[in-house]
Chain A
Amino acid sequence: MTPMTSGALTISDGRLALSALLILVNVGLSAALRLGLTRSLLVASLRMVVQLLLVGFVLEWLFRQDHAPLIVLVGAAMAMIAGISAVQRTRRRFAGIYLNSLLSVMASSALVTGLAVTGLIQPQPWYDPQYLIPLLGMVLGNTLNGISLGLDRFMEGLRSGRDQVETALALGATRWEACQEVVRDAIRVAMIPTINSMMVMGLVSLPGMMTGQILQGATPDAAVRYQIVILFMIASATALGVFGVVGLAYGRLTSADHQLRLDRLVG
């Protein structure tokens, strides 16, 4: 478990405090234009600082651990939070939606991150938290977005396309024949952000992880290689997660009797 290099310049406490003065730009603007954001700005700044400092402590502790079950447990907890947050951003719910989301997030991120640490990046041991946890975090953050977009779009699509779907069913379509357009549309929409971000990668956006590695002294070539692996991981995990969650929602909102069960949808 050797760190990549000895690292970038350290930011002292004094300079860290100084950086907080930058928020005064926002506060000043808010006061001058009476945006009413002063309070939220200060609260958000404070939360950001406290949360990150805490995460810093947690990660320092975690990176010293060498106990596979513990690290996997932390990973599972992260996946659980991602699965729950994904549902919280959708407009409607159905019984079992949290379970569906959890299953999809966990299965897709475990599969893809597992393949990455055992086959592509191969840290020794495979559960080295310095690799596993950040990789998993990046995958989860993106899968979460895909899943909320896909789920939301699927439920709204069935709602707004209800008459079309039932017209097809009434003529003798199977539930898949009647719903496939809605399913496809939901998966397509959920994949768009990933595709977009890959399109402009390096041109418009320099990803945070790559910037971090370069500041830490990694060569741009090494950082770019990591970034490429990460993006492919994100793309495949998002695809798997979205496919899983939309598939499960489809199973829940239709029945084996080829009925549309929107009565199971609340909100």
Chain B
Amino acid sequence: MGPSLLLRAEGLKRQLGDRLLWSQLNLVLAAGDRLGLVAPSGAGKTLLLRALALLDPLQAGTISLQGRPPATWGLPRWRSMVLYLAQRPTAHGGTVEANLRSPWEFQELRGRGGWRYERIKGWLQALGRDPSFLAYDAERLSGGELQLLALLRALQFDPSVLLLDEPTASLDGATTAALEALLIEWLAAGQRACVFTSHDSEQIQRFATRTLELRP
């Protein structure tokens, strides 16, 4: 038996006003996949990631996770399993640690084990950051640090599918390489896959196992 099928989308379409961004879009993600989205700016890469997380209503088509449609999962659970990371992440007031802890309060995530310091520390180490990063004021982080915060915040919930929108856009080369390595390791540790966008075609060649081109 091959790697298990995680996400399947069929016949998706996105139109902005009278401009058709993409249509008849089919997508299948199996465990271990790292799917790179290829399209020029403004072609709707972000909108596709948002559609997969069901943050916007689907204009056409169907979508399922492990063979089950979103309604049977419940939308909050769907999003915790098909987790979208925005291009410009946000954090609320308080420390980095407070930001990593607060989502555990959500009804959906409450009974799932909660905050684990050792795990976060290991990831920070892999990214070349000291544990003191957790005590930083989240509202004063640089764009790159904010992206790291968002990644850690997402990884701790072990989603099945990570949707990464320009995840390394504000990072230096060394941290980008460390993040890619961490993601590969994390993906291999379970039945997981990721979809990502990048303005850097070298990153797509290097990191993607497959690519998908968006067109009207």
Using CB atoms and an 8 Å cutoff, list the residues of chain A in contact with chain B.
163-164, 166-174, 177, 255, 257-260
- If A166-B86, A167-B86, A257-B57 touch, whether A172 touches B92 (CB-CB below 8 Å) is no
Q: Which residues of B contact A169 (CB under 8 A)?
A: 55, 79
**Number of residues from B at the complex interface, CB < 8 A:** 28
Contact B75 A258 (CB under 8 A): yes
Closest A residue, CB atoms, query B154: A171
Contact B86 A257 (CB under 8 A): no
* Bound: A173/B11 CA distance, A: 27
Q: In the assembled complex, how far is the CB of residue A206 from the closest CB belonging to chain B, in whole angstroms?
A: 42
Q: Which residues of A contact B157 (CB under 8 A)?
A: 171-172
* Bound: A168/B108 CA distance, A: 12
* Bound: A167/B103 CA distance, A: 10
Other A-B pairs, 16, CB within 8 Å; known A173-B103, A255-B57: A164-B90, A164-B92, A167-B89, A167-B90, A169-B55, A171-B83, A171-B153, A172-B79, A172-B108, A173-B76, A177-B107, A257-B57, A258-B76, A258-B79, A259-B54, A260-B55
Q: In the assembled complex, how far is the CB of residue A254 from the closest CB belonging to chain B, in whole angstroms?
A: 11
- If A255-B57, A257-B75, A259-B57 touch, whether A172 touches B86 (CB-CB below 8 Å) is no
Contact B86 A170 (CB under 8 A): yes
- If A166-B86, A171-B154, A171-B157 touch, whether A257 touches B54 (CB-CB below 8 Å) is yes
Contact A172 B77 (CB under 8 A): yes
Could you list some 17 contacts between A and B, CB below 8 A?
A166-B55, A166-B86, A168-B103, A170-B53, A170-B55, A171-B79, A171-B80, A171-B83, A171-B109, A171-B154, A171-B157, A172-B76, A172-B79, A172-B80, A172-B106, A258-B76, A258-B79
* Bound: A171/B89 CA distance, A: 12
Closest A residue, CB atoms, query B156: A171
* Bound: A174/B110 CA distance, A: 13
Q: Which residues of A contact B70 (CB under 8 A)?
A: 257
Using CB atoms and an 8 Å cutoff, list the residues of chain B in contact with chain A.
53-57, 70, 75-77, 79-80, 83-86, 88-90, 92, 103, 106-109, 150, 153-154, 157
Contact B56 A259 (CB under 8 A): yes
Contact B56 A170 (CB under 8 A): no
Contact B86 A171 (CB under 8 A): no
* Bound: A255/B80 CA distance, A: 18
- If A257-B57, A258-B76, A259-B57 touch, whether A172 touches B103 (CB-CB below 8 Å) is yes
* Among candidates B56, B80, B106, B153, residue contacting A177 with C-beta atoms closer than 8 Å: B106
Contact A163 B86 (CB under 8 A): yes
Q: Which residues of B contact A163 (CB under 8 A)?
A: 86, 88, 90
Q: Which residues of A contact B92 (CB under 8 A)?
A: 164
Closest B residue, CB atoms, query A162: B90
Q: Which residues of A contact B90 (CB under 8 A)?
A: 163-164, 167
* Bound: A163/B86 CA distance, A: 9
Contact B108 A174 (CB under 8 A): yes
Q: Which residues of B contact A170 (CB under 8 A)?
A: 53, 55, 79, 83-86
- If A166-B55, A257-B57 touch, whether A171 touches B103 (CB-CB below 8 Å) is yes
* Bound: A173/B80 CA distance, A: 8
Contact B55 A259 (CB under 8 A): yes
* Bound: A221/B80 CA distance, A: 62
Q: Which residues of A contact B55 (CB under 8 A)?
A: 166, 169-170, 259-260
Q: In the assembled complex, how far is the CB of residue A264 from the closest CB belonging to chain B, in whole angstroms?
A: 11
Question: Considering residues B70, B76, B89, B150, which has the most beta carbons from chain A within 10 angstroms of its beta carbon?
Answer: B76
* Bound: A259/B58 CA distance, A: 11
Q: In the assembled complex, how far is the CB of residue A114 from the closest CB belonging to chain B, in whole angstroms?
A: 38
The 3 closest A-B pairs by CB, nearest first: A172-B80, A172-B108, A163-B90
Closest B residue, CB atoms, query A260: B55
Closest A residue, CB atoms, query B163: A170
Closest A residue, CB atoms, query B79: A172
Q: Which residues of A contact B86 (CB under 8 A)?
A: 163, 166-167, 170
* Bound: A166/B55 CA distance, A: 8
Closest A residue, CB atoms, query B85: A170
* Bound: A260/B80 CA distance, A: 16
Closest A residue, CB atoms, query B105: A177
* Bound: A255/B90 CA distance, A: 22
Q: In the assembled complex, how far is the CB of residue A20 from the closest CB belonging to chain B, in whole angstroms?
A: 56
Q: In the assembled complex, how far is the CB of residue A95 from the closest CB belonging to chain B, in whole angstroms?
A: 16
Contact A174 B107 (CB under 8 A): yes
Contact B75 A173 (CB under 8 A): no
* Bound: A173/B157 CA distance, A: 13
